[in-house]
Amino acid sequence: MDTETLLRTAQAWADADPDAETAAQVRALVGAKNVQELDDRFNASLEFGTAGLRGVLGGGTNRMNRAVVRRTTAGLARYLKATVPDVSTRGVVIGRDGRLMSPEFAQDTAAVFAAEGIPAWVFKGVAPTPLTAFAVKHLNAAAGVMVTASHNPPEYNGYKVYWGNGAQIIPPHDTGIAKAIDAIGPAKDVQLMNEDEARRKGLFHDVKDAVTRAYLDAILALRPTHQTDGLSIVYTAMHGVGGALVMQVMSDAGFKNVTPVPEQQQPDGRFPTVRFPNPEEKGAMDLSTALATKVKADVVLANDPDADRLAVMARDAAGALVMLTGNEVGVLLGHFLLTQQKNVNPLVVTTIVSSAQLKAIAAALGSRYAETLTGFKWIANAALDEAKHGVNFVVGYEEALGYSVGPVVRDKDGIGAALVVADMAAWAKARGLTLFGYLEEVQRAHGLFVAKQFNATLPGATGAATIKAVMEAFRAKRPDAIGSAKIVATNDYRTQQRTEGGTTSALSLPSSNVIAYELAGGHRVTLRPSGTEPKIKFYFEWRETMAQGEPIAQAKTRAAKRLDELETDFLALAATRGLPR
């Protein structure tokens, strides 16, 4: 939009903003005629999708703020009343993490629902994401809202929506809610009901401690071996909201040697010891690694700020603490639960960008296996669909450190997964193995798969255009090979077509902007724009054949070299298709 239109749009937004602080931000930018910043804040609106909302805090349509939250909640309320006949009796669960503005966003969400005649079930303080998801189903609520930006940097916040089945929303609910939001007027006109009045009218309820206890009891029942002896654990909450429940459930389970990282145990939305509170980011695990070295811990367990993800470090063959990848943890959980639990008609689920090793394990162990699009909403809903046919959901995972064990939580659960990983580590230690030793057993039995990921961060409108152009260039100029590796099949999930040997067939998964290349030898490369961050992601997996009796380190070194070569060859292709070097 031209400068004058931009200034008028921003001024009108500030005049309708119910938050004096963000309104003042925008007015100051208008007064200074800071066109560049205003354009970034108003050239688009945060789009409501299957991941809900997530964005940088601040004033503007392209930011997370109270105006956006109030309009979003009003739209969600109207959609629920139109599609869920008993929403006015079942209500909606509201949880929040410890991020900046999370208390205010949760308060506004409850106030709007109450004004719409929908009861709000509200956690009294912070609540981890898996607990909020559990509470939706446990309380038979019509929906749930979790205020969180998960593992994003401190300046972010978000708004995640659950349906009454306890899983994140999927189509057509996402588009239906988005249309309802678009029909809502200015934020200043959205009706609110204060907490005192809402309580008097039965439209505001505290989530009782009994719900938390029910969640803890349910995840305690997930452990297959119930071993604890001799295991030393260091745990970090990463300044998030998982700390109290993890320490409680570990104690309940009988783990006596769990040491939290004190500087990171309490919720703090400023994240003072980490710039990027994601266990996968460089430096995020420094404090926990140092503490684990000091106390000679066997494993390190780390949650992200809303405790839906889990990172795991263990001792390698040389005794050094090394991070397991998300794929390695997911594969170990799958093997452990399939072999140590008594499961009738078991099901394991992962995503199209996660390791194919779980598929090989499932086939060998007689388990059903399913692949979904990226995102736990798809894993949870696939598990629910399969359950109609009498299967027992054992575990679901995605490579980005997300796991859910059993049917307790229909989303990622970094707390339940932490408990089962501790159980698995204690079981392995009783057999004289570390988790890496156990992993070697699995790899020797079911194949050596190594994987890595490359992320290109391209912020702003220019970055979004570049990401789109790169994906379209790969579609327009299809490669026949990546380096020396021939492409034997291409799966384009946006067009829902698979091309193999000159033949095209239909893919069954929903449409999504993802391209996957299957290479001769069982290797894979997958391209996918992120749904929550300004990134395009490339996933690489190499399947290596091990010689009989070959040392695992030798095979891994060879596989890693070939994986690096595959990445280099692919990025060279991507550069010719518009990816910035």
Is residue 78 classed as helix, strand or coil in its secondary structure?
Answer: helix
Residue at token pair 């999370």: 102
pLDDT at 548: 84
Residues 197 and 253 in one domain: no
Q: Shortest CA distance to 292 belongs to which of 270, 314, 311?
A: 314
Q: What is the number of structural domains in the chain?
A: 3
Do 203 and 262 have their domain in common?
A: no
Beta bridge partners of 450: 542
What is the domain range of residue 502? 448-575
The answer on 493 and 426 residing in a single domain is: no
Where is the domain boundary, 183, 207, 231?
A: 207
Residue at 14 is within a domain: no
Could you tell me if 413 and 518 lie in one domain?
no
Assess whether 45 carries a catalytic annotation.
no
Spell out the residues 6+ positions from residue 172 whose beta carbon is closer than 8 angstroms to its own.
Answer: none
430 domain-assigned: yes
Residue at a domain's end among 415, 446, 477: 446
Q: Which of 544, 247, 537, 569 is nearest to 419 (CA)?
A: 247
Last residue of a domain, one of 146, 174, 207: 207
SS (H, E, C) 454-494: EEEECCHHHHHHHHHHHHHHHHHCCCCEECCEEEEEEEECC
User: In terms of domains, do 253 and 384 share one?
Assistant: yes
- Report the alpha-carbon distance of residue 92 to residue 162 in Å, rounded: 9
Same domain, 365 and 243: yes
Instruction: Establish if 383 belongs to a structural domain.
Output: yes
Q: What is the dihedral of CA 114, 115, 118, 121, to 10 degrees?
A: -10
For the domain that residue 144 is a member of, what is the CATH number?
Answer: 3.40.120.10
The encoded tokens of residue 175 equal: 């588009």
> What 3-state class would DSSP assign to 280?
coil
pTM above 0.75, yes or no: yes
Nearest CA-CA partner of 92 in 116, 71, 69: 116
545 pairs with which residues across the strands? Answer: none
| Residues 517 and 385 reside in one and the same domain | no
Looking at the structure, tell me whether residues 404 and 464 fall in a common domain: no
Torsion of CA 108, 112, 118, 123, to 10 degrees: 0
Q: Please tell me the distance from the alpha carbon of residue 143 to that of residue 165, in angstroms, as a whole number.
A: 8
- Claim to verify: residue 268 and residue 379 sit in the same structural domain: yes
CATH code for the domain in which residue 507 is found: 3.30.310.50
108 and 251 inside one domain = no
- What does the alpha-carbon distance between residue 208 and residue 212 come to, in Å, rounded to a whole number? 8
Question: What φ, ψ does residue 103 adopt, rounded to 5°?
Answer: -60, -40
- pLDDT for the residue numbered 49: 80
Looking at residue 461, its pLDDT comes to 84
Q: 233-236 and 204-206 as β-strands: parallel, antiparallel, unpaired? A: unpaired
| 489 and 391 part of one domain | no
What would you measure as the largest C-alpha separation in the chain, in angstroms?
73
The pLDDT value recorded for residue 343 is: 87
Q: Which single residue is written with the structure tokens 């659960």?
A: 413
Task: Give pLDDT tens digits along the chain (581 positions).
Answer: 789 999 999 999 999 999 999 999 999 999 999 999 999 999 889 988 877 999 999 999 999 999 999 999 999 999 999 999 999 999 999 999 999 999 999 999 999 999 999 999 999 999 999 999 999 999 999 999 999 999 999 999 999 999 999 999 999 999 999 999 999 999 999 999 999 999 999 999 999 999 999 999 999 999 999 999 899 999 999 999 999 999 999 999 999 999 999 999 999 999 999 989 999 999 999 999 999 999 999 999 999 999 999 999 999 999 999 999 999 999 999 999 999 998 899 999 999 999 999 999 999 999 999 999 998 999 999 999 888 888 999 999 999 999 999 999 999 999 999 999 999 999 999 999 999 999 999 999 998 999 999 999 998 889 999 999 999 999 999 999 999 999 999 999 999 999 998 899 999 999 999 999 999 999 999 999 987 778 999 999 999 988 888 998 999 999 999 999 999 999 999 999 999 98
Q: Residue 110 falls within a domain, yes or no?
A: yes
Rounded to whole angstroms, the Cα distance separating 552 from 441 reads: 10
In a domain, 35, yes or no: no
The radius of gyration of the chain from alpha carbons, rounded to an integer in Å, stands at 24
Q: Are residues 199 and 288 in the same domain?
A: no
Among 138, 98, 139, 148, smallest CA distance to 119 is for 139
- Of 150, 367, 404, 512, the active-site residue reads 150
| Residue 473 domain-assigned (yes or no) | yes
Q: Is residue 418 part of a domain?
A: yes
Q: Quick check: is 21 in a domain?
A: no
Any alpha helices (H) in 224-352, and if so which ranges? Answer: 243-253, 286-295, 326-340
The pair of structure tokens assigned to 348 is 């394991």
